[in-house]
Chains A and B, each alone.
Chain A
């Protein structure tokens, strides 16, 4: 499943996207996330899934606009820490980030 955490407004889409099929629940992304908004735990969307999966913490979902800011393209390291550390390439960010801040 593709889980989108974020929002879209007039300026574009702002999503942290986690492909739960690819995610192996290794737990590396919560360690590198500067604002600690990622976590690994039981899949709340699919109750039948046995393996843990990465997700954005419930209390941080409405604050992604601000909490993800240090890693926006053009500001932070490239690629973003969570994207870079993810071996199965399960994490990505929406186009809105790149449109507004330019992509390299």
Chain B
């Protein structure tokens, strides 16, 4: 119903965030001994990362389509088109995320919990103790040790409240691009009371009500962001927070949620910058959504080194 009108009037999709890919110009993969890949097929986005000898080489971040195998192929193709590498040059590929069992080029699948823990350890540094992964359709709180090993984890029920999908639905409703919500939620006079429903569908009708009552858009964004922060806090309270605390996943890019969560917890989250100095100096792009795929690629590297996995170049056939 809404679609038909949108096509006539305006076709902009406010929830659609830009897909990105990047290749590291400093690494010549042909000299690399072990090339591993991680494909994180999430419920909303698919990330693929290629690592050469455990160094960050290339990544791609795409939307997940309606079927996992194609999303994985698309995600992997999106990375490889930037490089002169083919899928056959990759030694070992690990699938992770929601659709991990359906990644055609993967030799193994590992749960996203272990991958996010390991990825966060690599990205934010070994002092990370609590990882909050804010995914597209669920959120998980993970305690990790200095090796990136999972100590304890807790997952919410499969529910989009307080997740990336909820934010997308909200962006589309309020007609503000999803990446602008965080900044705009601070352009307010006074912090409004939070949206009381956590359920996305209920929150949506509540927002419609607020819009009609004449509440400014920015205030509604602030109200939604604090509702989301509150929901994350409830999950964290159950597990407990140990410093250093970091947030991975798409919501970590929304400062409206992150800053409000910091305020509620009284704990600063880890800065979203590479822990490795050379990565920072060379200005490698830091994408919080990559943690799962980076973790998977690192697992591949480690498994090959330990001799638990066999290199399978040219293992992939369509």
Contacts and interface: CB of A to CB of B under 8 A. Distances in A.
Interface stretch (B38-46, B56-64, B299-307): B299-307
Interface in B272-318: 299, 302-303, 306, 308
B151 interface: yes
B110 A3 contact: no
Interface string A1-26: 11110011000010000000000000
Contacts of A4: 152-154
B236 to A, nearest CB: 12
Contact of B152 (A1, A8, A48, A62): A1
Given A45-B111, A47-B299, A1 B149 contact: yes
B157 A47 contact: no
Contacts of B261: none
B114 A13 contact: no
B50 interface: no
A48 B147 CA distance: 12
Interface in A27-58: 44-48
Given A1-B149, A8-B238, A47 B154 contact: no
Nearest to B143: A2
Contact of A1 (B151, B156, B306): B151
A18 to B, nearest CB: 11
A62 B157 CA distance: 8
- Counting chain B CB atoms within 10 Å of each CB, the highest count among A1, A4, A45 belongs to A1
B163 to A, nearest CB: 16
A2 B151 CA distance: 6
B152 A2 contact: yes
Contact of A44 (B111, B238, B302): B111
A7 B157 contact: yes
A13 B114 CA distance: 23
Contacts of A48: 302-303, 306, 308
Contacts of A2: 151-152
B152 A47 contact: no
Contact of A47 (B114, B151, B158): B114
Interface of B is mostly: mixed
Contacts, number: 39
B230 to A, nearest CB: 15
Given A45-B113, A47-B114, A13 B238 contact: yes
A48 B302 CA distance: 9
A24 to B, nearest CB: 19
A4 B150 CA distance: 12
Contact of A46 (B149, B158, B308): B149
Contacts of B303: 47-48
A95 to B, nearest CB: 11
Contacts of A62: 157-158
B153 A46 contact: no
Nearest to A4: B154
Contacts of B152: 1-2, 4
B153 A47 contact: no
B238 to A, nearest CB: 6
Contacts of A1: 149-153
Nearest to B157: A7
A42 B151 CA distance: 17
A11 to B, nearest CB: 13
Nearest to B114: A45
B222 to A, nearest CB: 26
9 contacts: A1-B149, A1-B150, A1-B152, A4-B153, A46-B149, A46-B150, A47-B299, A48-B303, A62-B158
Given A44-B111, A62-B158, 15 more contacts: A1-B149, A1-B153, A2-B151, A3-B153, A4-B152, A4-B154, A7-B156, A7-B157, A8-B154, A8-B238, A44-B110, A45-B111, A45-B150, A48-B303, A48-B306
